[in-house]
Structure 1
Amino acid sequence: MSEFLKPNHFKDEIWMTTDEAQLFFKVSRSTLYRWCKYKHVPYTLLGGTRYFPKHFIETLMGQLLHNKPF
């Protein structure tokens, strides 16, 4: 299991809603959902709402800015 995906890594995590993640990436909702479908970004469902771990989103954004494919 990846170090990032170990459950204790998420203990103090800050979670972003779908709307917050869309604004952060500047992408449409459908693009964000497609990334979820193809497991490019981790998320959790709680009461029908998707939440994204902020730490991972920031790391992914850094990779995108440096043109590293995910």
Structure 2
Amino acid sequence: MNEQLLKGRWNEMKGRVKEKWGRLTDDELEQMDGNMDQLIGALQQRYGLVQEEARKEVNAWLRTH
């Protein structure tokens, strides 16, 4: 469900993603196009998180939005 929500509302949520994870570039956000796996991978690279940590952060963030 979270992945479908992210994909379906990506244009609305991009700004909020950028606020939460400011190290992500606009180009990265455009290329992701709401793909949760790409978001998780980018968080791993930019923030040095392991995959499960990044996935938990994204899911927790999605529950609040």
Q: Normalising to structure 1: TM-score of the pair?
A: 0.33
Larger radius of gyration: 1
**Structure that is richer in strand per residue:** 1
Q: Normalising to structure 2: TM-score of the pair?
A: 0.35
**Structure that is richer in helix per residue:** 2
